[in-house]
Structure 1
Amino acid sequence: MDIEMVYDKGLLREIGGVAISYGQREWMDTTPRALGSWPLEYQRFSETLRAAGDVKITYRRWSSLPRTVGRWDCEHRKSRLERVGPYQLRHDRAGRVCTVGPVQIFYDRGDWNPVGAQLQSTDESLSDELLLVLFLVLFWQKQAWDAYYQSHR
């Protein structure tokens, strides 16, 4: 199953037909505010995502590395996210996430924004939980890259 990712004005607007919405002043605030019907809640005065709908997210103390997503634990190796609950992540040589469980992510050559994804099994569909994990992984990856490039200006 192909999973289309739609961008507009440099912002990821849709994953597999599920809209990602932003604030009214998106030219100033590029932080996603909702994934489909799930409101995204952030820590006060921060871009740290605390919840997606009813799913709470916790982080390691003094870190941006997630510790739990809902009932699932997250695993890290050094500062790289390796697993969210049952979904193992794989990275390419450039450090980009290239698989999230059964989902393979595709990038344009030399680009950091994913252009699409594909479920490796044609029998499966993109479940709500897999959609959420895919969104979170891409969100955290973009945050990490943005922070890196801001610090190296």
Structure 2
Amino acid sequence: MEIELTYDKGLLRSIGSAAISYGRREWMDSTPRAVGSWPLEYQRFSSTLRAVGSVEITYRRRSSLPRTVGGWSCETSRFGGRLERIGPYELMHDGAGRVCAVGPLEVLYSGGESHPLHVRLPGEDMTLSEDLLLVLFLVLFWQQQAWDAYYQANR
């Protein structure tokens, strides 16, 4: 099963049938406000995501890497540079540092693109569970934040 990721004006607009909405002034603030029916909550005066719906997120001290997502713990690489696992879902990265797998999901990019275009879920009868949708959104969100910070710092 292939799940399409849609973009408009460089912003991720949907993951399959789950729409991603932004504030009224998205040209000034490209921070997502909701994924499907889940509102996104941020730390005060920050773009650090605190919760997706009722699922709270905690972070490592002095870091943008998550420590927990709801009841799941998160694992980072040995030197703390990148996220390797969220709960039961292992993350794989390609040579360019892009996430290429989230648990059973294969994340597909087109050439040198930084935005993935599709996600492949093995099997025909499988559907994207809420858990996988949540983890996929978080991984894509944090990956985009890291790239934005990198490009901002290296202008």
Normalised to the residue count of structure 1, the TM-score between the two structures is 0.98
Shift of residue 34 of structure 1? 0.1
Matched residues in 2 for 1:44 and 1:128: separation?
Answer: 27
Identity of paired residues, percent? 69
Give secondary structure in 2 for the equivalent of 1:14.
strand
Asked if 2 retains the 8 angstrom alpha-carbon contact of 1:106 and 1:114, the reply is yes
Which residue is 1:135 aligned to? 137
Number of the residue aligned with 1:36 = 36
Amino acid of the residue matched to residue 116 of structure 1?
A: H
Give the deviation of 1:124 after TM superposition: 2.3
Runs of 4+ in 1 over 3 A off after TM superposition: none
Structure 1 segment 1-153 matched on structure 2, within 5 A: 1-77=1-77, 78=79, 79-153=81-155
Offset from partner CA, 1:107-131 (integer Å, 9 cap, x none): 1101100111110233421001100
- The secondary structure found in structure 1 opposite 2:12 is strand
User: 1:124 is paired with a residue of what secondary structure?
Assistant: coil
Q: Is the 8 A contact 1:102 1:121 kept in 2?
A: no
RMSD after superposition: 0.7
Question: What is the aligned length?
Answer: 153
Contact 1:88 1:100 in 2 (8 A): yes
CA contact (8 A) 1:41 1:51 kept: yes
What whole-Å deviation, never above 9, does each CA across 1:68-94 have from its counterpart, x for those lacking one?
000000000121100000000000000
Q: Secondary structure at the match of 1:74?
A: strand
Structure 1: 5+ residue stretches without partners: none
Q: Is the 8 A contact 1:90 1:97 kept in 2?
A: yes
1: distance between equivalents of 2:105 and 2:130? Answer: 13
Task: Note the alpha carbon deviations across 1:41-99, whole angstroms, 9 max, x for none.
Answer: 00000000000000000000110000000000000012110000000000000000000
CA distance in 2, matches of 1:27, 1:129: 30
